Structure 1
């Protein structure tokens, strides 16, 4: 029985693999690797540039919002369970991450690492360079944050960010640059509807021939190597600019045409957002990063009608669509000037427009053209009315936010309270043995004038006392004087005596008809 082939087969099956049996080890390794790869989350990167720490947080909350209910609010369930990672963005290059959940809020589609930078300083270029590698470039999206609180600074800020990005991208190694070129080709061609095979061949096959889809004027002639999206936050402030500062549709159309003309050159997308209102920001970011739901297909549709809900996806715009917004806009001039300006290294953003004396700032600068049309309303008021009118009063008063004002007043009240307590503690004990009449002046200030009614006449006691004192002093002076009294003085004294005598008789109520004394 032991020599039967069946027995030998069973024995061979139950035996463990030896060191010489490498085939079974390779099978186990491949199985483990496949399981590990299946559980590994797709890694995506967001490079968030611009904004303040607060506006960056607002962007991340909008990006992480649970859009399943259509409210656009932050996922309260995730916040309540404490699963929201902290955001470190107070100094230099910040970082946080977000897990993108599917429509059922159960399955995780990807993990997005967000790197945050507020200032386009050239000194931060070494921090950005390690983030762009051959592996990360295809999975990276650059987001530039703007805010409607200062739209007159947008083009200058955008120029400095593009300059910084170009400085970083030029310094990358050749392998990364090749991947960047492939990424831009994929965005430029396949995103236009070409499949992978036709995109590789350079055209779309129709009726057995190759048809190349040409790019329109001003499209993709300044590709950066990474996809880019510009997010203009706080679109609810548009109404304030219109009501309080007299802006009209011409200004808003000019801003939109300027932005779209520039972003068309980089193949970038554009979106206006409003806090706590539903918008397409999440769909736009997911689409740009290649994150797609397994349960629900999200549509991304352009919107160029609602001025506070603008959405221009990548590869959708063209000069023809920009031109119809308003006639007279010089797209050719803006496009050409922009290509010249972005060649220089970045400059400080807070540099005033009047000090622009560098190349391209002689009137042909795109930034200068924009800032000559879109002014800071407060700066215009200061120039026209230097803080006062003919009466010396201020023309305009800046008001702070209500909550900020109340917070500052709490600090002021606490400070005043502490000072009062300190004064009461240092106040000397009053001397009770001191007579209150020692300081007649202070007492009189508190008592006030003393008046009484005499014979129907209201008499001021203080005034009468003063007159009596003056009269007594006058008499004393006359007695001491060698000059004799004149007849006029005697007559005056006699008249006074007769007057007071008449008052006494009137008060005596003598019988009618009785002779006077």
Structure 2
């Protein structure tokens, strides 16, 4: 009996060993699966795309996701039909894109794009849930402008900034702390405090990192989220110059104004042209922290080519803006902008002639007013109209493209053909009627007298026909008892006698014409 406890303890020991092994195996597999799942989990990035129309928003996404590699045609054909749809026609739109590496094999990140066209205050509750402590460091705000109406840019930009400020102020404290940390990190890149510069040995004599102080007008109105302004359709710059008489002064003024404002928010600026290579993809990816594993792409500024402007964040300064053109009041614009964006957001209202209304403004302290005094819609400016057209006519003629013009002409021709067919069907079928030939007929006027040769004598068929008609008329008168004029009858008989005499009369010195000679 004493041996039974030993047997029980032995059995218990035997039963406990597999249990410990199963537990250890389970822990090992869990850690392996978790590590594999973390390795395959794609980094989540967010784009908050504000402004533009549904069409220009699609154009932006196509340019952003365009493949610029050598075998892009093959890759695009392979991925054709797999592009996620874009829902951006109502309120807050959404779509997503996967960012592929240079070899088009590895997926670097998944970018979720949220799209909003109008800066209406009623849309603020839709933006707020997108900004959380987890999403803020991975989010970039993109504001779309278009060169079809540059005179509205500053007014639109002001309303978007006001809307963003109202949303950011309403966030919870945890999110605000993360926003402050994110902006501090972006500012440190400007001041040389990033990890790369510290590792490179950028140290001062006291042992601390070398810091570059912020210049005037830099980062004094940070929003808490990185921002980028994209001016699309830069190919329309040439149209503004040729059709509306714009000069370099206007384009330089727009560039200086935008750079001065965006410098306050630490934002970047880029001009893009559809279907042409640009640095939009590199700018957006670097702002989101997406970098290729195979090829490091460099981002270079460009402030020379007026249709390919690229101003990265943390690169600009008042000194660089001032050299574009002398006389630009950066201090005044910067101060006016800081005051203007403090107001609550309002529905965007574009006046019929913003430039002319701005000229009549009295305060002169509004940045929008200053901008619209110089840059206004040229189609509504009548000061350069020709005197002959000052009575209400237009100096410009709107032209359509060739394909649109030809399409309208085809439709017009089809309409005219249908009208002709309808008119032809409503008319009776014409009948050909033969009228007797008489002296006064149109046919005789063209063919002249008909003559023929009888036994060498030239006979006028019309004269003979007339005489026969007169003879038949005289016979009819006699039969009906109608007296005839003796003079006419005598003349008629004489004419007959002359006719028959002419038939037998031969020309002197020869045989009759047309008869065979002996």
TM-score range, shorter chain: 0.7 to 0.9
Summarize the Cα distance change of 1:393–1:273 in structure 2 as closer, same or farther, 3 Å threshold: closer
Aligned partner of 2:251 in structure 1 is: 252
Aligned partner of 1:471 in structure 2 is: none
> d(CA) in 2 for partners of 1:252 and 1:215?
27
**Unaligned stretches of 5+ residues in structure 2:** 1-5, 434-441, 449-518
Deviation at residue 171 of structure 1 after TM alignment:
1.4
Contact 1:64 1:75 in 2 (8 A): no
Summarize the Cα distance change of 1:75–1:328 in structure 2 as closer, same or farther, 3 Å threshold: farther
> d(CA) in 2 for partners of 1:181 and 1:74?
44
Summarize the Cα distance change of 1:88–1:386 in structure 2 as closer, same or farther, 3 Å threshold: farther
Contact 1:388 1:394 in 2 (8 A): no
Contact 1:78 1:84 in 2 (8 A): no
Deviation at residue 197 of structure 1 after TM alignment:
10
Aligned partner of 2:155 in structure 1 is: 156
SS at match of 2:389: coil
Aligned partner of 1:182 in structure 2 is: 181
Deviation at residue 347 of structure 1 after TM alignment:
3.3
Under a length normalisation based on structure 1, what TM-score does the superposition of the two structures give? 0.73
Under a length normalisation based on structure 2, what TM-score does the superposition of the two structures give? 0.73
1:148-188 Cα offsets, whole Å, 9 max, x none, are 12111111111111111111111111111111111111111
Summarize the Cα distance change of 1:220–1:408 in structure 2 as closer, same or farther, 3 Å threshold: farther
Contact 2:192 2:211 in 1 (8 A): no
Contact 2:185 2:194 in 1 (8 A): no
> d(CA) in 2 for partners of 1:13 and 1:295?
51
Whether 1:60 aligns to 2:58 is: no
Aligned partner of 2:18 in structure 1 is: 15
Contact 1:61 1:74 in 2 (8 A): no
> d(CA) in 2 for partners of 1:401 and 1:314?
39
Aligned partner of 2:396 in structure 1 is: 396
Aligned partner of 1:503 in structure 2 is: none
Q: CA RMSD in A?
A: 3.9
1:88-117 Cα offsets, whole Å, 9 max, x none, are 222221111111110111100001111111
SS at match of 2:129: helix
Aligned partner of 1:346 in structure 2 is: 346
Summarize the Cα distance change of 1:151–1:63 in structure 2 as closer, same or farther, 3 Å threshold: same
Whether 1:31 aligns to 2:29 is: no
Aligned partner of 1:85 in structure 2 is: 84
Deviation at residue 403 of structure 1 after TM alignment:
3.7
Deviation at residue 354 of structure 1 after TM alignment:
6.7
Aligned partner of 1:446 in structure 2 is: none
Summarize the Cα distance change of 1:15–1:214 in structure 2 as closer, same or farther, 3 Å threshold: same
| Number of equivalent positions | 429
Contact 1:233 1:273 in 2 (8 A): yes
**Unaligned stretches of 5+ residues in structure 1:** 437-448, 456-517
Contact 1:387 1:394 in 2 (8 A): no
Aligned partner of 1:323 in structure 2 is: 322
- The worse-fitting range, judged by mean Cα deviation, of 188-197 and 383-392 is 383-392
1:366-396 Cα offsets, whole Å, 9 max, x none, are 111111111211111x455499627886432
Contact 2:193 2:211 in 1 (8 A): no
Summarize the Cα distance change of 1:70–1:124 in structure 2 as closer, same or farther, 3 Å threshold: farther
Deviation at residue 129 of structure 1 after TM alignment:
1.1
Summarize the Cα distance change of 1:123–1:418 in structure 2 as closer, same or farther, 3 Å threshold: farther
Aligned partner of 1:208 in structure 2 is: 206
Aligned partner of 2:140 in structure 1 is: 141
Summarize the Cα distance change of 1:420–1:163 in structure 2 as closer, same or farther, 3 Å threshold: farther
SS at match of 2:39: helix
SS at match of 2:45: strand
Question: Counterparts of 1:452-467 in structure 2 under 5 Å?
Answer: none
Deviation at residue 450 of structure 1 after TM alignment:
11
Summarize the Cα distance change of 1:69–1:135 in structure 2 as closer, same or farther, 3 Å threshold: same
SS at match of 1:283: helix
Question: Counterparts of 1:306-321 in structure 2 under 5 Å?
Answer: 306-321=305-320
> d(CA) in 2 for partners of 1:251 and 1:361?
23
Deviation at residue 231 of structure 1 after TM alignment:
0.8
Aligned partner of 1:243 in structure 2 is: 242
Aligned partner of 1:305 in structure 2 is: 304
> d(CA) in 2 for partners of 1:390 and 1:340?
40
Deviation at residue 236 of structure 1 after TM alignment:
1.5
Summarize the Cα distance change of 1:268–1:407 in structure 2 as closer, same or farther, 3 Å threshold: farther
Contact 2:189 2:314 in 1 (8 A): no
> d(CA) in 1 for partners of 2:257 and 2:113?
28
Aligned partner of 1:229 in structure 2 is: 228
Summarize the Cα distance change of 1:418–1:53 in structure 2 as closer, same or farther, 3 Å threshold: farther
> d(CA) in 2 for partners of 1:62 and 1:339?
33
Summarize the Cα distance change of 1:243–1:429 in structure 2 as closer, same or farther, 3 Å threshold: closer
Summarize the Cα distance change of 1:286–1:424 in structure 2 as closer, same or farther, 3 Å threshold: same
- The worse-fitting range, judged by mean Cα deviation, of 109-118 and 387-396 is 387-396
> d(CA) in 1 for partners of 2:171 and 2:101?
35
Contact 2:322 2:328 in 1 (8 A): yes
> d(CA) in 2 for partners of 1:23 and 1:342?
61
